[in-house]
Amino acid sequence: MVKAVVGANWGDEGKGKITDMLSKEADIICRFQGGANAGHTIVNDYGKFALHTLPSGVFYDHTTSIIGNGVALNIPVLFKEIKSITDQNVPMPKIKVSDRAQIVMSYHILFDQYEEERLGGKSFGSTKSGIAPFYSDKYAKIGFQVSELFDEELLQEKVVRICETKNVLLEHLYHKPLIKPEELLKELHEYRDMVAPYVCDVSAFLYEAIKEGKNILLEGQLGSLKDPDHGIYPMVTSSSTLAAYGAIGAGLPPYEIKQIITVCKAYSSAVGAGAFVSEIFGEEADELRRRGGDGGEYGATTGRPRRMGWFDCVASKYGCRIQGTTDVAFTVLDVLGYLDEIPVCVGYEIDGEVTTDFPTTAKLEKAKPVLKTLPGWKSDIRGIKNYEELPENCRKYIEFIEQQIGFPITMVSNGPGRNDIIYRNK
Ligand code: GDP
């Protein structure tokens, strides 16, 4: 059985915690897109971890962690991450890296920085991890696939070709130092030696695993609104964030994905530029940011303060629909316990008309939030295990949002830990 854990919004919804929790029942956890540009924060028996490349299921002995072909594979980051978890006494995980994954090169990271510098105030707010240049090269067919690391003749020819194209841009567009074929070759050899023990024909491995009835979890990065096709283009990421892409980015049949768990946070946060209709500012935002997540809403990779907002029913209804949601995991609800009243965005006003349909970007820029205020519950809900024991106003908040987004909230997360979860039978 294959399940996917994906985000409904701008990312940072708490997918890491839900994946870590569901990994208990999983045999294989697979990353299928994105790279080391975003992170998941996980709190479990071993401590607190920020993962960027490894799937959030690496903490169990019984699981295999897979980096699928759709991932932007940064090999030094992967190794640093393995070391950071084993240094904290997590047993060495079983890792497989797809032979079809492509490699983030040091020049991708440089180009990302140079392009942000060039764009100045008009930049996309990239994390400068090389993700956009990486995926551009993948689709321009000048990327390095893991399998190619083992073909010396190909590498020697290709590094010369890559330097020719890259150096034109470095010299004339960015006015930066040029790159040399022998340096690239050295970098690739290092990567080859590091990754060699883990290389695997992942789609064949997963095909067999499905036949054997294994439980496979696909872990998405970011959320629906950052999808290059269905998100807030161009303020999006460079690979699809949708569960459907799990089939491609891991290499398994689309019809095998039986459950799509879309993670939705009880309020909104976003990083980077782009329209954010329910955004709040000033002291109101600072307080929510301070209290949010587990130790504040700051980027797991960059430490950047996140932009904050109230729950957005319009964006979340759309975000859940485009994922193909079967279940919603509603997270970080405990954080809202300090509020007397909780505003929720229930519609967008665009050119004088109110809609609950999420628009394309130009219209989204004009949208103003239509807010409805719900009463708060003014108490700490951490530690509660049964839905019926939640305060009445808290249940009303969940049920109101469930009705607005139109997808069943079957899990409510009321704390960062593995066991802070309330299951609802829907
Ligand atoms: P991801 O990228 O979707 O995995 O999300 P992040 O890891 O960036 O952000 C989620 C943050 O919220 C992390 O710091 C988690 O430890 C924390 N978190 C997850 N679920 C809950 C919850 O139910 N309550 C609280 N207080 N924190 C949570």
DSSP code per residue over 288-300: HHHHSTTT-SB-T
Active-site positions read 12, 40
In percent, the amount of the chain with pLDDT more than 90 equals 84
Q: What is the mean pLDDT of residues 284-300?
A: 89
Range scoring the smallest mean pLDDT among 20-34, 109-123, 391-405 = 109-123
Residue 354 forms part of a structural domain? yes
Residues 120 and 70 in one domain: no
Q: Confirm whether 97 is domain-assigned.
A: no
In a domain, 239, yes or no: yes
**pLDDT tens, position by position, 191-249:** 999 999 999 999 999 999 999 999 999 999 999 999 999 999 999 999 999 999 999 99
Q: Which residues are annotated binding-site positions? A: 11-17, 37-41, 127, 141, 237, 300-306, 332-334, 413-415
Binned at pLDDT 50, 70 and 90, residue 300 comes out as low
Average per-residue pLDDT for the chain: 94
Do residues 215 and 341 both lie within one domain?
Answer: yes
Residues written for the chain: 426
User: Which tokens belong to 228?
Assistant: 């290059």
- pLDDT tens per residue, range 80-108: 999 989 999 899 999 999 999 999 999 99
What pairing do the DSSP bridges indicate for beta strands 307-309 and 268-270?
antiparallel
Check whether residue 208 and residue 269 sit in a common domain: yes
Q: How far is the CA of 12 from the centre of ligand 1 (A)?
A: 7
Residue 135 scores a pLDDT above 70: yes
Do 250 and 166 share a structural domain? no
* E strand intervals along 255-384: 257-265, 268-270, 279-280, 307-309, 311-312, 327-331, 341-350, 353-355, 368-375
Query: Residues lining ligand 1, judged by CB closer than 6 Å?
Result: 7, 11-17, 40-41, 43, 293-294, 300, 331-332, 334-335, 413-416, 420
pLDDT-derived band at 345, boundaries 50, 70, 90? very high
- Residues tagged in the binding site annotation for GTP: 11-17, 39-41, 306, 332-334, 413-415
Q: How many domains does the chain have?
A: 2
114 within some domain: yes
Residue 301 has what pLDDT?
65
Whether 262 contacts 159, CB under 8 Å: no
Domain boundary among 162, 197, 232: 197
332 CA to middle of ligand 1, Å?
7
Instruction: Select from 382, 406, 404 the least CA-distant residue to 394.
Output: 382
* For the CA of 415, the nearest atom of ligand 1: 24
394 and 291 in a single domain? The answer is: yes
Handedness of CA 251, 255, 256, 257 (dihedral sign): positive
Does residue 94 belong to any structural domain of this protein?
A: no
The answer, yes or no, to whether residue 138 has pLDDT greater than 80, is yes
Rounded distance between C-alpha atoms, residue 351 and residue 369, angstroms: 12
Q: Could you list the residue range(s) of the whole structural domain that residue 379 is in?
A: 2-89+203-423
Torsion, CA 380, CA 382, CA 388, CA 391, rounded to 10: 10
Q: What is the pLDDT of residue 408?
A: 98
Rounded average pLDDT over 322-331: 98
Domain match, 21 and 7 both: yes
CATH number, domain containing residue 182? 1.10.300.10
Pocket-testing residue among 262, 267, 331, 333, ligand 1, by greatest number of atoms within 8 A of Cβ = 331
Does 129 lie in the same domain as 51?
no
Output the known binding site for IMP.
12-15, 37-40, 127, 141, 237, 304
Q: Are residues 284 and 252 in the same domain?
A: yes
User: Given ligand 1 and candidates 40, 294, 302, which is best to mutate, with the most ligand atoms within 8 Å of its CB?
Assistant: 294
